[in-house]
């Protein structure tokens, strides 16, 4: 019996996909489905291909292991107590709620909390996976250490005075209370973000509320860098996390050298991470370790201009609570140095208009690196992380202005490079050619209207309006008599037909 061509194609596709399945991994996640879906796939089949709802969860933790860890209510009280005790340098806010309605509390730490400043911002996210709770405990300890050592310890003072640190102790409180990896819907939150290689979760409505909360959070705030805390290994992981063909190999992102540097800062500041026999220097490219898709790390870098690391901070996912003080000692300097390096290294500055003196939300580009960093709208400030010990050509560009570039040698310390951009005269001549008297922004709006595909539409509309005016004028002429006596009303001039 002959098989239909569609069946043969399906079998070949299934065999091909199966040959590229990655090995199950311990820390960042398990086996991923290799099926690509199409528009005709129904909702239930789509859910199964994503493996969002897993029937068998082998990672449920017993009650004995949970003893000694803060419950969700205790963690919430700890966050609010911190906010009251350290209110001079902190602000507490929520970015949303979990499936079960538990608030996702964030601690902002700065000398001017809640106020926008021309300073870099960093975020820590803990407990992405419910059965990896060490991060939530260490992040509360980090916040308290910074509060207790402000104006006493140089690192604490530097971070609080010159950066904005945001701490989300738990992204997955429901998974924690259920003692399992996924959230209340048994979804792995680190597979729920848009992915550059496989569009298996492009529908915002099908994402989990915790994922939506993170995405909305980053729409309103820009973070220069970030780190999420995991458990099950001891390594600093950096992009890319996946490959286009699902195979396991080193797949570098445009800022590979910078990410290697950031990961090394954490690894070498750690008690023993850099001594790993499994990972050279205690760091790894995600795809080289094992590919994952829908991860939060790559999404941050691609869509929000945020340099994020995935930090595996304990080789046991849920260690005995008695080990937490030791784990804090092992990771404390790593966490502090990673945040402090935002200020201590890289290129920073502001971009100003020579014409108005106002800040410009311009683009910062590095020659040879296919990645753009945006300056803020409020202050025109930018913060570009780069690996030290290299020479870089830095360029600032903004529409309507002439771009400027300069070459720098970035050594161990940070560099400040400001740009004052001049108006592009040729561009301004073009803009002035379309000037009208409809307001300050009318020229630019008219130019935009007449550009590209709008030109033909605009001309057609113009012709129609002219014809309508002619018809209306003709009707008015026919309606009124040809000879009308002049009338005078007050001091108005005479009006003749």
> Which residues are catalytic, by number?
312
Q: Among 368, 434, 431, which residue's Cα sits nearest to residue 401? A: 431
Label residues 111-125 b or e (16+ Cβ within 10 Å = b): bebeeebbbbbbbbb
As a whole number of angstroms, the distance between CA 29 and CA 294 comes to 11
Label residues 376-410 b or e (16+ Cβ within 10 Å = b): beebbbbbbbbbbeeebebbbbbeebeeeeeeeeb
Q: What is the DSSP string of 355-390?
A: TT--B---EEEETTEEEEEEPPTTT-EEEE---SSE
Q: How many CB atoms lie within 10 A of CB 342?
A: 27
Q: Among 171, 149, 169, which residue's Cα sits nearest to residue 160? A: 149
**DSSP 8-state symbol, 71:** P
The answer to whether residues 379 and 352 touch, using CB atoms and an 8 Å cutoff, is no
Q: Among 194, 155, 168, 175, which residue's Cα sits nearest to residue 60? A: 175
486: Cβ contacts below 8 Å, ≥ 6 apart? 494, 495, 496
Q: What is the DSSP string of 106-145?
A: EEEESSSTTS--SS-EEEEE--SSTT--HHHHHHHHHHHH
Please, what is the Cα angle at 174 between 171 and 178, to 5 degrees? 130
As a whole number of angstroms, the distance between CA 68 and CA 55 comes to 29
HSE-up of 246 (CA within 13 Å, CB side)? 16
């Amino acid at each position: 019996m002959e098989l239909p061509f569609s069946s043969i194609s399906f079998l070949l596709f299934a065999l091909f996909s199966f040959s590229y399945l990655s090995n199950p991994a311990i820390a960042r996640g398990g086996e991923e489905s290799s099926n690509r879906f199409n528009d005709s796939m129904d909702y239930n089949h789509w859910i199964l291909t994503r493996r969002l709802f897993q029937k068998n969860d082998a990672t449920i933790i017993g009650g004995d292991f949970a003893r000694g860890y803060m419950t969700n209510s205790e963690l919430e009280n700890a966050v609010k107590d911190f906010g009251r005790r350290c209110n001079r340098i902190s602000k507490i806010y929520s970015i949303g709620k979990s499936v079960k309605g538990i608030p996702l509390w964030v601690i902002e730490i700065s000398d001017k909390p809640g106020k926008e400043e021309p300073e870099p911002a960093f975020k820590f996210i803990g407990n992405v996976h419910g059965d990896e709770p060490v991060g939530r405990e260490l992040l509360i300890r980090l916040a308290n250490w910074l509060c207790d050592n402000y104006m006493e310890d140089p690192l604490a003072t530097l971070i609080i005075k010159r950066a904005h640190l945001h701490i989300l102790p738990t992204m997955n409180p429901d998974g924690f209370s259920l003692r399992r990896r996924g959230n209340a819907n048994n979804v792995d939150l680190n597979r729920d973000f848009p992915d550059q290689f496989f569009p298996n979760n492009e529908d915002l409505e099908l994402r989990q509320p915790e994922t939506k909360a993170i995405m909305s959070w980053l729409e309103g705030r820009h973070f220069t860098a970030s780190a999420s805390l995991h458990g099950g290994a001891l390594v600093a992981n950096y992009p890319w996390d996946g490959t286009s063909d699902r195979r396991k190999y080193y797949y570098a992102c445009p800022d590979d050298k910078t990410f290697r540097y950031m990961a090394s800062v954490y690894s070498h500041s750690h008690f023993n991470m850099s001594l790993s026999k499994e990972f050279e220097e205690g760091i790894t490219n995600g795809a080289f370790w094992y590919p994952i898709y829908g991860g939060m790390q790559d999404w941050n870098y691609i869509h929000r201009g945020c340099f994020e690391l995935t930090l595996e901070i304990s080789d046991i996912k849920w260690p005995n609570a008695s080990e937490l003080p030791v784990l804090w000692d092992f990771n404390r300097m790593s966490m502090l140095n990673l945040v402090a390096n935002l200020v201590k290294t890289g290129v920073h500055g502001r971009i100003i208009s020579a014409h108005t003196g106002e800040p410009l939300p311009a683009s910062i580009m590095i020659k040879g690196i296919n990645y753009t960093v945006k300056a803020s709208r409020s202050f025109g400030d930018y913060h570009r992380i780069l690996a030290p010990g290299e020479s870089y050509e830095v360029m600032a560009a903004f529409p309507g202005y002439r771009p400027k570039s300069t070459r720098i040698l970035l050594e161990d310390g940070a560099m400040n490079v400001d740009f004052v951009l001049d108006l592009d005269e040729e561009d301004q001549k073009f803009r002035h050619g379309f000037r009208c008297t409809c307001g300050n922004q009318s020229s630019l709006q008219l130019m935009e209207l007449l550009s590209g595909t709008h030109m033909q539409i605009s001309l057609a509309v113009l012709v129609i309006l002219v014809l309508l005016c002619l018809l209306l004028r003709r009707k008015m002429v026919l309606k009124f008599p040809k000879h009308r006596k002049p009338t005078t009303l007050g001091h108005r001039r005479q009006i003749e037909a």
